[in-house]
A and B are shown apart, each in its own frame.
Chain A
Amino acid sequence: MLNMLHFSSLYTLNLPLKKYQMDDALFYDRMQFAFTITFHYLFPQLTMGLSLIIIYFKGKFLKTQLDKYNDAAHFWMKIFAINFAMGVVTGIPMEFQFGTNWAKFSELTGGIIGQTLAMEGMFSFFLESSFLGLFLFGEKLLGHKLHFLTGFLVFLGSWASGYLIIATHSWMQYPVGYEILENGKFVLTNFSALFSNPWFLPSYLHNQAASMVTSSFVVAGIGAFYVLNKKHLEFGKLFLKTGVVFGLISSILVAVPTGDLVAKNVAKYQPVSFAAMEGLFDTEEGAEIVLIGQPNIKEKRLDNKIAVPNILSFLTYNNWNAEVKGLNEFDESLYPTNIPGLYYAYHIMVGLGTVFIGVLLIASFLLYYKKLYVKKWILWSILFLIPFPYIANITGWYTAELGRQPWLVYNLLKVSEGASPTVSAGNTLFTLLGFIGLYLLLGMLFLILVGKIIYKGPNTLKA
């Protein structure tokens, strides 16, 4: 559903796929889902990671009784509060949109994905919402230990939410534990299969580690900002150190083992998407890994290619000379809808992930030798990298979603079969424009308010 770049179908000649028209309701259904989910996911990725970092600060305070840790927790709680509110308000439309815009999909698969989505409401949202208020404003009322506990419960709620969403996502990527009735409805036959799905755990851990990377760069980046600005130096250094350490661990976990396992799943269960992601047209033994290049679908080759031989075979099958299937191996009717979009999304994600590991390794090295706070070039690098984990997270999701196209439920139900039959293009465009306007406003408010908090800096007066 995240396929934003349908224009690719212009390039894919002779495909038996429906070409999208600008007056096609399906086109706007997809644009609206893509827009609202992309905007929404800017917030939960920070919520999930930052909640862990905040309870780390709070835990440090409980252990050391040093006020700076509690002040640090307070500072990030202020940003967390706004970020969380944004995540909640942009999250509500997500659950509604399955019904409003994807009614056919909901009708056919609701007995299965409704299961995990309803669990998210019951287990996660109640937990988060009941304790968020106490966590944000109840410190004096509760005392420090109970306050730490409310923080932990909010963290647990947000990670449970991710857990159930990715269980849902995994079923769409690799359907298990189901049966299809004569009327086309999917019914659940095995509940525990939803969670033992081989697609699920690697994806979940990959996603959580990636959200930790975002949060680590935000924390370290703001720290770098204070150090470069020579303001709030003590906090600047604390944020830098914490962010760099959390960031290094999580950015490595994103690649190994989680990213590696996710890629192997794609190669195993969606080989045609894997070939498209990697930009591999011909089946090769000792397949090369493409670093840079532009896919030319018409001519079936990559332009301006820079590649390293044998690496892809090794990464995929732990064998330097293993055969990796290229796109030419498959019938064109099986191709992902938007091959260039998928290829770029994947390469941007992997490229950025590599940059993060590199920068954080250098930063950790400098931290160890007590040079981190004085080397301006690394501080500037960390500061400017703040937006990029967001891009990596979003393009990672695009990779998963574009890779699944044209399927809603892989190999079983097409995107074009899932939209609401009675909602016209005009109505969807109307609401899409409304969402764009409203979210632009929200985005501006978020930046202004968070900017204000960052500029003011941590409050060292005892709260």
Chain B
Amino acid sequence: MELFWYIVLMFMLGVYVILDGYDFGAGIIHLFFAKTEEDKSAITKSIGPFWDANEVWLIASGGILFFAFPTLYASSFSGFYLPLIMILWLLIFRATGLELRSQVNNVMWHKIWDKAFGISSLLLALFFGLALGNVVRGVNLGIVENGVSTQEAIYFFVPLWNAEFSPFSERLGIIDWFTILLGLLAVVALTIHGANWVIFKTNSSINKKLKGIIFKLNIVLCVLVLVSVVVWGKVSENSLQNFINHPWLFVFPFIGLIGLLNLFRIKKMKKDGLGFLSSSLFLFGAFASTAAALFPVLLPSTNTVNPSLTIYNTAADAYGLSVGVYWWVIAFILVIVYLIVQFRVFKGKMDNVPYGHH
């Protein structure tokens, strides 16, 4: 039962990364590369009907985490207190920017909310990368000092940073050079993903330029991926153990790699959706590989006193988990129906869809 809910949770989070990932990426493209009013409006239009539903994958994943692994939810949400609340503030800013921009027809008003949308998208990509870095690196569970827990074994607290900015430091911070590395990786990967979305769903004038940008950024991304994989091996000793024990897991990094390398063909692609498919494959592969490397751990412990949090020691009781399967399956089928309706209504390029404020 724990395994079922683990797969559900990772699947929903993975969908979130791919779906809201292109929203963040579109926001970053909007911030740095869209210069004309037409291009900006084409970009916001292309995510307009989707972003809200995309964000629900995060909220719903949070709900599933709370329900299926309440101990992990309690431990991680209180331990990562400040960055999580800041993510909330950024989500609020971004949503407000998107929803209120069109309410007033004034250049200054538009500029303010364009920037709010772009900057919060950029910071959110960075924060989610940092968050991933923190989960991969692990935390001082039970706040062990001098070999003794000062809190219950599942609780911890990580401040935003400490003076050393090192993942090997005695007192860990959210921001250290390892988590920053993953933060940058997330920003670059989602920028590429967002650019692919803009190419896929709009006829904007920057599409051609974006292909060049994707090509260049993809070189950076390859370097970042390589460095991260090597460094991860240093930060955590067992990062490859699962892959050695279960070689079939190599299918995930392989999928990611196909997506990554395929992006170099971006300029030659005949169909605009292929780039988006490639970056989706990369995100899926990278996310699944990370999860597979950690499994069954959900949050590693950096001390030897308290055990890591796994799907087994954080799960809710068996009855609750099994009764949840019934409603989850029903709800999930409904979600698929909604998605099909959405994508059928808004298929193809979005520039000229008669959709907008009356």
Please report A residues at the B interface, Cβ cutoff 8 Å: 74, 81-82, 85, 88-90, 92-93, 95-96, 98-101, 103-104, 106-107, 109-112, 114-115, 117-123, 125-127, 129-134, 137-142, 181, 185, 187-189, 191, 420-424, 427, 430-431, 434, 438, 442, 445, 449, 452, 459, 463
Contact = CB atoms under 8 A, between A and B. Distances in A.
B85 A115 contact: no
B133 interface: no
Given A114-B67, A189-B319, A126 B53 contact: yes
Interface string B62-100: 111011101101111111011011001101100110011
A112 B319 CA distance: 10
Given A112-B320, A125-B56, A134-B345, A100 B84 contact: yes
B323 interface: yes
Nearest to B327: A119
A87 to B, nearest CB: 11
B353 A141 contact: yes
> What 4 pairs between A and B have smallest CB-CB spacing?
A110-B70, A99-B77, A114-B67, A121-B63
A115 B53 contact: no
A442 B89 CA distance: 12
Given A122-B60, A134-B345, A191-B323, A89 B317 contact: no
A126 B62 contact: no
Contacts of B52: 88, 129, 132-133
Contact of A422 (B62, B67, B157): B157
B341 interface: yes
B55 A96 contact: no
Interface stretch (B147-155, B197-205, B300-308): B147-155
A247 to B, nearest CB: 28
Contact of A106 (B73, B157, B354): B73
B78 A101 contact: yes
A448 to B, nearest CB: 9
B299 to A, nearest CB: 13
B268 interface: no
A146 B84 CA distance: 39
B156 A422 contact: yes
Contacts of A141: 345, 353-355
A423 B151 CA distance: 12
Contacts of B53: 126, 129-130, 133
B123 to A, nearest CB: 15
Given A89-B92, A106-B74, A137 B63 contact: no
Interface string B309-340: 00000001101100110011001101100110
Contacts of B143: 422
Contacts of B48: 133, 137
A201 to B, nearest CB: 19
Given A106-B73, A121-B56, A129-B56, A98 B319 contact: no
B338 A106 contact: no
Nearest to A445: B100
A125 B59 contact: yes
Contacts of B50: 133
Contacts of B55: 129
Contact of A99 (B74, B316, B328): B74
B173 to A, nearest CB: 14
A442 B92 CA distance: 9
Given A99-B78, A107-B70, A129-B52, 12 more contacts: A92-B92, A99-B74, A100-B81, A107-B74, A126-B331, A127-B334, A137-B357, A140-B355, A187-B320, A422-B143, A431-B81, A463-B358
